[in-house]
């Protein structure tokens, strides 16, 4: 795993240790398509290390989240997803009706982010932003009165 060198440093520089288990969890998330849940991480890690316990997955995900190497997203349908935070910074819009998630460039947040920082001193984490609402098709269905 040569592409993880700087990540390994990040972990080590924070009084945490880089174990084989932790590296496998980290790689599973990093090299998954994009979003991955706990069971998928567990299944993936098991391929290389079958004895690993699910609690180790939970605990490592918590550590990586704390270090802001990964993000945690609660989907509108209840599923919790993890994602690698690299240089591809973006946010998500999640539809509360069809549960679809679309990816949105974080440039859309620039002005809002600035206002909040200027007026409150609060610094928004764009990497951890998932916003719920109604997507275009679902909104149209609602207006036709097709649903409620």
Query: Residues interacting with a copy of itself, by CB under 8 A?
Result: 14, 74, 93, 95-96, 102, 104, 108-109, 111-112, 115-116, 119-125, 128-129, 131-136, 139, 148
Q: Are 134 and 142 in contact (CB under 8 A)?
A: yes
Query: What is the phi-psi region of residue 82: left when phi exceeds 0, alpha when psi lies from -120 to 50, beta otherwise?
Result: beta
Residues 72-131 that bind DNA (CB under 7 A): 78, 80
Q: What does the alpha-carbon distance between residue 76 and residue 36 come to, in Å, rounded to a whole number? A: 15
| Chosen from DNA, Mn ion, Zn ion, none, partner binding at 49 (C-beta under 5 to 8 Å by type) | DNA
Residue placing its CB nearer to Zn ion in the complex, 97 or 127: 97
Residues 43-62 that bind DNA (CB under 7 A): 49, 51-56, 58-60, 62
Specify the 3-state DSSP secondary structure of 13: coil
Minimum Å gap between C-beta 96 and a copy of itself is 7
CA angle 119, 125, 128 (to 5 degrees): 140
Buried/exposed 36-70: b ≥16 CB within 10 Å, e otherwise: beeeebbebbeeeeeebeeebbeebbebbeebebb
Judged by CB under 5 A, which of 8, 98, 126, 130 binds Zn ion?
A: 98
Residue placing its CB nearer to Mn ion in the complex, 10 or 73: 73
The residue ranges that bind DNA (CB under 7 A) are: 11-12, 15-22, 38-39, 49, 51-56, 58-60, 62-63, 78, 80
């Amino acid at each position: 795993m040569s592409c993880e060198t700087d990540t390994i440093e990040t972990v080590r520089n924070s009084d945490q240790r880089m174990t084989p288990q932790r590296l496998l969890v980290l790689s599973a998330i990093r090299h998954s398509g994009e979003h991955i849940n706990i069971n998928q991480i567990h299944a993936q890690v098991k391929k290389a290390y079958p004895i690993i316990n699910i609690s180790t997955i939970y605990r490592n995900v918590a550590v990586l989240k704390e270090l802001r190497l990964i993000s945690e997203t609660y989907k509108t349908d209840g599923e919790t997803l993890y994602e690698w935070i690299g240089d591809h910074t973006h946010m998500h819009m999640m539809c509360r009706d069809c549960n679809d998630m679309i990816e949105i460039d974080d440039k859309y947040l620039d002005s809002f982010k600035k206002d909040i920082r200027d007026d409150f001193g609060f610094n928004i984490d764009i990497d951890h932003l998932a916003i719920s609402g109604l997507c275009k098709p679902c909104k149209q269905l609602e207006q036709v009165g097709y649903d409620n």
